Amino acid sequence: MSDKKFRLKFNDSNLHDSVSYILVSKFNIKPNVLQARIDGSGGRMILAMSGAENDITNAIMYLRSVDIEIEPLDNYVKRDDNKCIDCGSCISLCPTFAFEMDKETWDVKLDTSKCVACGFCISACPTHAIMLKLNL
């Protein structure tokens, strides 16, 4: 079993496709919509998929075949550790608790696997240590 997060981009031709239903019924994948912005002409979604590696691969291929753009969110957020001053400003702003202060060393750790690409930490960082790789 594997848990992965993706950014999906819809256009006006596939906007109304029920992605969650397709993932469950065709690929035996448990979907979890973490974020969605949809309007009349298209939309973007942050989606977590839980399932067998092979099923997730097949689901990605299917979504691409119906013209839904899909990109993995691994390492979506990046931090330049040389710029981080461990101020902690990012910790309380992150909705998924991706940042954590080590109680012994006072270093602020970042677990990129928890990131849902909201971007809140970018503006919170006084040293501009955090970067997003994609433009949602």
Q: Which residues would be at the binding site for ligand SF4 (CB under 6 A)?
A: 77, 79, 84-90, 93-96, 98, 108, 115-121, 124-125, 127, 129-130
Min CB(19)–ligand SF4 separation in Å: 21
- What minimum distance in Å lies between the beta carbon of 37 and ligand SF4? 15
Of 3, 98, 106, 97, nearest to 49 (Cα)? Answer: 3
Give the CA dihedral 125, 32, 26, 4, nearest 10 degrees.
40
- With respect to ligand SF4, which residue has the nearer C-beta, 13 or 32? 32
> Would you tell me the crossing angle of helices 53-65 and 19-27 to the nearest 10 degrees?
130
Q: Compute the least distance from the CB of residue 127 to ligand SF4, in Å.
A: 5
